[in-house]
């Protein structure tokens, strides 16, 4: 069984597994830097336009942001438990945890959709009919808000696609145990999506709430 999984350039399954794990961490490092540029932009504009950012930061939907933070942190737990079950070759448990992770991820996107509709309704989209007409820097805040949460949502959507592929395999007893690398790597990617929201949540929803 394991001979079919081991690629010829590796000495052992363990080495192959380590290499794929390293590759994904390297990819995640580029992803952190990709988002890092936006975080850096947010930091700089927050320093340059404290008043405009303070005015804008009060208008984000705290309920939606908080519910989503709790949903995503919990999905991190269910994903880790799914990977753990897959590593122990417990296919039914792993597929249940992966399915639950997908549900939590989908719930996050649903809340995000409600929030976006609310934001659009309140004219928080930068442009001609922007709500804070007397605070031009607030438009920069919301440009960053839409870009950062939008890119995060795209990453989450990709994560859901990967999870669906993992779920289809795991429930048929594949991608677990010795051939569970793809399941574990999907878990790593999901953790990254979690980490980005951990920083977006206080920055976009909380730091200017009471200034």
Partner 1 sequence: MKALTYVGAWGALMAGFFLTLGLAHARLGAFYLPVAMVIAAAQMMVVMWYFMHLRVSSRLTWLFAAGGIYWLGILFVLGLADYLSRGWLK
Applying CB under 8 A, the residues found at the interface with partner 1 are 18, 21-22, 25-26, 28-30, 32-33, 36-37, 39-40, 43-44, 47-48, 66, 69-70, 73-74, 76-77, 79-81, 83-84, 184, 187-188, 191-192, 194-195, 198-199, 201-203, 206-207, 209-211
CB of 182 to partner 1, least distance (A): 14
Cβ at position 188, least distance to partner 1 in Å: 5
Distance CA 150, CA 35 (A): 12
Closest to partner 1 by CB, 39 or 130? 39
For residue 153, give Cα distances in angstroms to 40, 64, 112: 19, 14, 8
Cβ proximity of 183 and 86 under 8 Å: yes
Kindly state the smallest distance separating residue 25's Cβ from partner 1, in Å: 4
Dihedral, 42, 44, 50, 54 alpha carbons, nearest 10 = 10
- Residue among 36 and 150 whose Cβ is closer to partner 1: 36
If DSSP codes are grouped into helix, strand and coil, which group holds residue 123?
coil
Query: In whole angstroms, how close is the CB of 37 to partner 1 at the nearest point?
Result: 7
What token pair was written down for 125? 């989209």
26 or 133: whose CB is closer to partner 1? 26
Residue 122 Cβ vs partner 1, minimum distance, rounded to whole Å: 20
Measured in whole angstroms, how far is the alpha carbon of residue 183 from the centre of its chain?
17
Tell me whether residue 3 or residue 11 sits nearer to partner 1 (CB atom). 11
Q: From CA 169, how far away is CA 48, in angstroms rounded? A: 50
């Amino acid at each position: 069984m394991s001979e079919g999984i081991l690629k010829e350039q590796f000495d052992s399954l363990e080495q192959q597994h380590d290499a794929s794990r390293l590759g994904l961490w390297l990819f995640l490092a580029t992803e952190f830097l990709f988002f890092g540029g936006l975080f850096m932009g947010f930091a700089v504009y927050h320093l340059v336009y404290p008043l405009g950012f303070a005015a804008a930061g009060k208008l984000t939907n705290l309920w939606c942001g908080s519910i989503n933070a709790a949903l995503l942190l919990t999905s991190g737990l269910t994903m880790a438990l799914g990977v753990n079950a897959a590593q122990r070759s417990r296919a039914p448990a792993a597929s249940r945890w992966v399915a639950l992770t997908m549900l939590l991820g989908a719930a996050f996107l649903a809340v995000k959709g409600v929030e976006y509709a609310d934001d659009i309704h309140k004219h928080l989209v930068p442009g001609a009919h922007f709500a804070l007409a007397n605070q031009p820097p607030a438009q920069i805040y919301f440009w960053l808000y839409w870009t950062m949460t939008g890119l995060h949502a795209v990453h989450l959507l990709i994560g859901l696609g990967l999870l669906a592929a993992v779920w289809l395999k795991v429930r048929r007893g594949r991608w677990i145990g010795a051939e569970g690398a793809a399941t574990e790597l999907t878990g790593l990617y999901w953790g990254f999506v979690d980490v980005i929201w951990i920083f977006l949540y206080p920055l976009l929803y909380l730091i200017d709430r009471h200034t």
